[in-house]
Structure 1
C-alpha cells in the first residue's frame, strides 16, 4: 500500500515523564503520524466520509497527549498508534513522538521515538 495520510508537527501539552517535575510542570510534545490507508474510495467519491478525517484524528491525538500521564514516550507512542488503528481503514501507522524539552543537561535539538504498528 503506497497511499498515506501524514499529520506532522501536531503540538500538545502533556505531563509525561519519569521525573516529578515533568509531571507537575508539563511540557510540549510534538506528534507525527503517517497512516497507510487506501485513498481510492475517497478519491472516487470526493467525500470525507470515505477517508480518515485528519482533523478529527488530530483532536483524538491531542486529547491523548493531554490526558493520563505515562512515564515513557514509548508508551505514549503506543497509545497514539492504537488511536490511529482504531479506524479499521488504517492498515498501518508510524507514530513519532518528539520531546523537545526533555530534561537533558546538554544542548540538543530533539529527542524522539518512532514506532510502526500494523494490523494483523
Structure 2
C-alpha cells in the first residue's frame, strides 16, 4: 500500500511538471503563438528585408545599429510602422534617405504582420 501511494504521488508530480514545461506563462492557456514574433522578425531582417546590408546589432555601418534604432524610436515614441510603410520621414540619418529608399520598397511591400514582426525584432534590442 505504501509503495502504491508513493508511486501515485511520483506519477502526479511528474505529470504536473511535464504540463508546466509545455506552457508559457506570458500567454493565456491555449493562445500561445505558433512562432515567436521576434524570431519571425529576425528571419525577415536577415533575409527578405535585406536589412543586414546596412544595419548590424551594435555597429553603425551604412545605417544606424539595431540598438540605436530601437533606442531612438523608443525614446522619441516614433511610429516605426509608419516609417516602414514609407509614410513618415527618417528620424535617424535623414541625409541617407536616398540610400534607404531601395530597402523601404521591400518593407512597404510587406504585410502588416511582417512589419510588426520586424518592429518587434528591432525593439527586442531596446534597453
**TM-score range, shorter-chain basis?**
under 0.3
**Structure number having the greater strand percentage:** 1
User: What is the TM-score with the length of structure 1 in the denominator?
Assistant: 0.26
**Structure number having the greater helix percentage:** 2
Higher normalized contact order (CA 8 Å, seq sep 6+, divided by chain length): 2
User: What is the TM-score with the length of structure 2 in the denominator?
Assistant: 0.25
Larger radius of gyration, structure 1 or 2?
A: 2
